[in-house]
Amino acid sequence: MVTAEFKQKVVASLQVRRENFGGSDSKFAVSLGIAPAQYSRIMKGETEKILSDGNWISLARQLGVNVKNEAQWNTARTPVYEFITAQLTICQQDSISSLLCDLADIGKTYTAKEYARTNRNAVYVDCSQVKSKQKLVRHIAQAFGVSHTGKYNHVYEDLVWYLKSIQNPLIILDEAGDLNYDAFLELKALWNATERACGWCMMGADGLKEKIQRAIDNKKVGYTELFSRFGSRYQRITQEGKGEAEKFAKLQAALIIKANAPEGTDVMGIVNRTQGSLRRVYTELSKINRA
């Protein structure tokens, strides 16, 4: 059973997230999958018999509520964090697009989520979870608080209108290489419909670059135009070559460990054990913090 303490954690996270949501209270409620009336009552201090336990758990997941009382993960200003944050800021402020294809496990996703969490009208999309055209567009619509359950053409038109009506929206497409072909074509159409009104950033590992380039080489309809709209170049942060990539990974890992480990921790010992893998670093830090 969901406890009162758990609900208060969710409410606190709701208040923080609301500050960085550019739309109305009603749209904010829609973006979270609850009724506006339910959200209003929760914000007035009511938590009993408003939502089911399943709804509270869903809200906690969407808001990233720390359920297990684990140590707070501190953001380290690594080269990846600085580069991607700067890119996202430019894309949002100037309503332009970028395409980032780089190694996995270097902190792209963490940075993108953190940016979306702390900036108004910025939405993060994990494309691996919404691979088709309809799922992708409906997901983006819901994230902005636009009605997403009706006829698809109405959802699409309402989303376009809303993106053109608000100030500097940004859509971050992570794991974009997982999208189906129909979703890529719809992205091109959505970009066309919101040109100079919405910023975009498409992100993925090296497989995304290979997928787009192979499609362009094979003259697959839509990919040349999509590549042009996203800047006509594959941006990356890490240096080419195995040796340089390993040095970069270890530098990043050291910065993250220093920001999150207790004083006196053997930073280089963890770096060497994990070989700079951020997922393994997180596991090691979790063990230390639990101890």
Residue 1: the pLDDT is 64
* DSSP string for residues in 178-228: G--HHHHHHHHHHHHHTTTT-EEEEEE-HHHHHHHHHHHHTT-TTHHHHHH
Cα distance between residue 271 and residue 25, in whole Å: 45
Structure confidence by residue, pLDDT tens digits, 188-198: 999 999 999 99
Residue 67: the pLDDT is 65
Taking only Cα atoms into account, the Rg of the chain, rounded to an integer number of angstroms, comes to: 20
Amino acid at 195: E
Q: Nearest Cα to 145, choosing from 10, 20, 12, 16?
A: 20
pLDDT at 289 over 80: no
Residue 70: the pLDDT is 58
Contact 63, 13 (CB under 8 A): yes
Per-residue pLDDT averaged across 254-272, rounded? Answer: 90
HEC per residue, 32-91? HCCCHHHHHHHHCCCCCCCCCHHHHHHHHHHHCCCCCCCCCCCCCCCHHHHHHHHHHHHH
Structure confidence by residue, pLDDT tens digits, 212-248: 999 999 999 999 999 999 999 999 998 877 788 888 9
Mean residue pLDDT of the chain comes to: 91
Residue 64: the pLDDT is 81
Residue 144: the pLDDT is 96
Sign of the CA dihedral 143, 144, 146, 151?
A: negative
Name the 3-class secondary structure at 261. coil
Residue 290: the pLDDT is 74
pTM above 0.75, yes or no: yes
Amino acid at 203: M
Cα distance between residue 65 and residue 158, in whole Å: 30
- Say how far residue 30 (Cα) sits from the centre of its chain: 18
* Backbone φ, ψ for residue 275 (5° rounding): 55, 25
Residue 275: the pLDDT is 87
pLDDT at 44 over 60: yes
Cα distance between residue 51 and residue 53, in whole Å: 7
What token pair was written down for 109?
Answer: 């996703």
Tell me how far apart the 2 most distant CA atoms of the chain are, in Å: 58
Q: In what order do the strands lie in the sheet with 122-126?
A: 97-101, 199-204, 170-174, 122-126
Domain ranges of the chain: 4-63, 79-229, 242-290
How many H helices and E strands in the chain? 14, 4
Structure confidence by residue, pLDDT tens digits, 100-144: 999 998 999 999 999 999 999 999 999 999 999 999 999 999 999
Q: How far apart are the first and last CA of the chain?
A: 28
Of the listed ranges 11-15, 92-96, 150-154, 221-225, the one predicted with least confidence: 11-15
Cα distance between residue 88 and residue 199, in whole Å: 8
Of the listed ranges 145-154, 174-183, 201-210, 282-291, the one predicted with least confidence: 282-291
Contact 128, 178 (CB under 8 A): yes
The strand pairing partners of 101, in sequence order, are: 204
Structure confidence by residue, pLDDT tens digits, 133-149: 999 999 999 999 999 99
Q: Which CATH superfamily is domain 79-229 in?
A: P-loop containing nucleotide triphosphate hydrolases (3.40.50.300)
